[in-house]
Amino acid sequence: MIERASASPEWRADNLSVEKVGTAAQQALLCRIADWAQYSYLGLIGLAIFARGIRALVERRRGLIRLSYGNGKTIRVPVGLSVLEASTRFNIPHSSVCGGRARCSTCRIRIIGDCSALPEPSNRETFVLDRVGAGGDPAIRLACQLRPKCDVAFFQIFPAYTSVSSASKFAPVHPGKERYVVSMFVDMRGSTKLAEQLLPFDTVFIINRFLTAVSQAVVECGGQPNQFVGDGQLALFGLSATPQTACRQAIEAAARIAVHIDALNEFLGDNVPEPLRFGIGIHGGEVIIGDIGSQEHTVFTALGDSVNVAARLQDLTKALSCEVVLSQDILKTAALSAGDLPRVEVPIRGRVEPLVLHTVTKAGMLSAIAADFAVAAA
Ligand code: FES
């Protein structure tokens, strides 16, 4: 169609004028730019191929060693690579939850035969192996830390998924990483009594409304509802915020939960035997965040001591007759004073020192603290 139209002098005058297609000099410049772009692109590809060639040459000069995986598979790799790097380079599935940073021990291997020629484990590797009770056994090593200089045979203690396709199927969207996160457990009180007095579907309806009100408060304050366990919820703060902000967000969320649950109680009125009540536990610390689960199903969550402590604090709200129990660390990290909040100390399993806590009779009382830092931030 364009070919036919271009035969007309009017069309040519309209579409091929200097304003539309530029001068001959401009067209020549454009052609030169297009040529340069093409040459540069090809040059970059050539450079990458050349660099790979140089790397292969340098690695060959350093020498090659054999790694035998104990299942008949043997690869030849350059000296200097860690066993885990070698597995990755040759697409051999190898468990490595922490990504090779000596933080997990899932890449552990058992050396078959003599271990005396292997480099000594570093302090970090020794620490991890001691932690998992393998410190006294020279045959157990971390594949991500071991850089053998001679042939070595081993087998993986935690075999990864056996085929590359299944491994990639499980490839987590969020591989594990360490991060300071504030965990908040919120639990609905009296749900058993509720279930006894209401029809099952009505109970589910009310629990859903309760969890929605809690989630709404969490999201409004910058947190993330993470897991629902029955009538309870784990919310995380600090997945993309500083520890101070995370602590402040959690405190503010606790105050807002009170507001949302008050509104819900008003809405439910006489349809529930008694107003909905709740308990909240808040604690923060370094945890591992990432996807956990099976090949078919993974969930993003946080794992670590501080998550368990937050759950315990939520439980303590019953014994301490209050709505919120938060650790002193939360207030300290938020750079806030505890003011008149009662202080208690509780022993925590695995800790020498008891944990210092503050109790809050009514979660709404935290709105005064939240207002303080809102003013400070303004
Ligand atoms: S990959 Fe985690 S310790 Fe080696």
Average of pLDDT values for 4-24? 78
Q: Which amino acid is at 84?
A: L
pLDDT at 170 over 70: no
Rounded to the nearest angstrom, the distance between the alpha carbon of 189 and the centre of ligand 1 is 41
Q: Give the CA angle between residues 115, 117, 122 to the nearest 5°.
A: 80
Identify the band that residue 374 occupies on the pLDDT scale cut at 50, 70 and 90. low
Rounded to the nearest angstrom, the distance between the alpha carbon of 55 and the centre of ligand 1 is 26
CA dihedral 24→27→33→37, nearest 10 degrees, is -140
Give, as one character, the DSSP assignment of residue 269. Answer: G
CA distance 98 to 158: 14
Q: Is 156 in the pocket of ligand 1 (CB under 6 A)?
A: no
State the first-to-last Cα distance of the chain, in angstroms, to the nearest integer: 64
CA distance 376 to 378: 6
Contact 99/174 with Cβ under 8 angstroms? no
CA dihedral 19→20→24→25, nearest 10 degrees, is 70
Rounded to the nearest angstrom, the distance between the alpha carbon of 225 and the centre of ligand 1 is 29
Render pLDDT for 81-129 as a digit per residue (tens, 0 to 9). Answer: 999 999 999 999 998 888 888 988 889 999 988 889 999 999 999 999 9
The best mutation among 82, 105, 109 to test binding of ligand 1, ranked by most ligand atoms within 8 Å of the C-beta, falls on: 105
CA distance 317 to 232: 14
Average of pLDDT values for 288-294? 80
CA distance 363 to 221: 15
Q: Which amino acid is at 229?
A: V
pLDDT at 131 over 50: yes
- What ligand 1 atom has the least distance to the C-alpha of 95? 1
Give CA 310 to chain center in angstroms: 18
Backbone torsions φ then ψ of 220, nearest 5 degrees: -55, -30
Render pLDDT for 177-209 as a digit per residue (tens, 0 to 9). Answer: 889 999 999 999 988 888 888 888 888 899 999
- What ligand 1 atom has the least distance to the C-alpha of 128? 3
Identify the band that residue 237 occupies on the pLDDT scale cut at 50, 70 and 90. very high
Say how many C-beta atoms besides its own lie within 10 A of residue 343's C-beta.
10
Which contiguous run of DSSP H or E holds residue 156?
strand 152-156
- What ligand 1 atom has the least distance to the C-alpha of 145? 4
- What ligand 1 atom has the least distance to the C-alpha of 102? 3
Report yes or no on whether pTM surpasses 0.75. no
| Bridge partners for 293 per DSSP | 298
pLDDT at 166 over 80: no
Residues ≥6 apart with Cβ < 8 Å to 188: 207, 210, 231, 232, 276, 277, 278
Rounded to the nearest angstrom, the distance between the alpha carbon of 87 and the centre of ligand 1 is 13
Q: Is the dihedral of CA 163, 153, 81, 147 positive or negative?
A: positive
CA distance 327 to 345: 10
* Size of the chain in residues: 378
Average of pLDDT values for 325-350? 90
Q: Is 140 in the pocket of ligand 1 (CB under 6 A)?
A: no
Residue 351's pLDDT is 74
Q: Which amino acid is at 352?
A: V
- What ligand 1 atom has the least distance to the C-alpha of 100? 1
Q: Is 107 in the pocket of ligand 1 (CB under 6 A)?
A: yes
pLDDT at 378 over 50: no
Rounded to the nearest angstrom, the distance between the alpha carbon of 124 and the centre of ligand 1 is 11
Structure token pair of residue 203: 């109970």
Q: Give the CA angle between residues 231, 237, 240 to the nearest 5°.
A: 140
Structure token pair of residue 46: 């050539």
pLDDT at 136 over 90: no
Identify the band that residue 210 occupies on the pLDDT scale cut at 50, 70 and 90. very high
Q: Is 106 in the pocket of ligand 1 (CB under 6 A)?
A: yes
Residue 373's pLDDT is 59
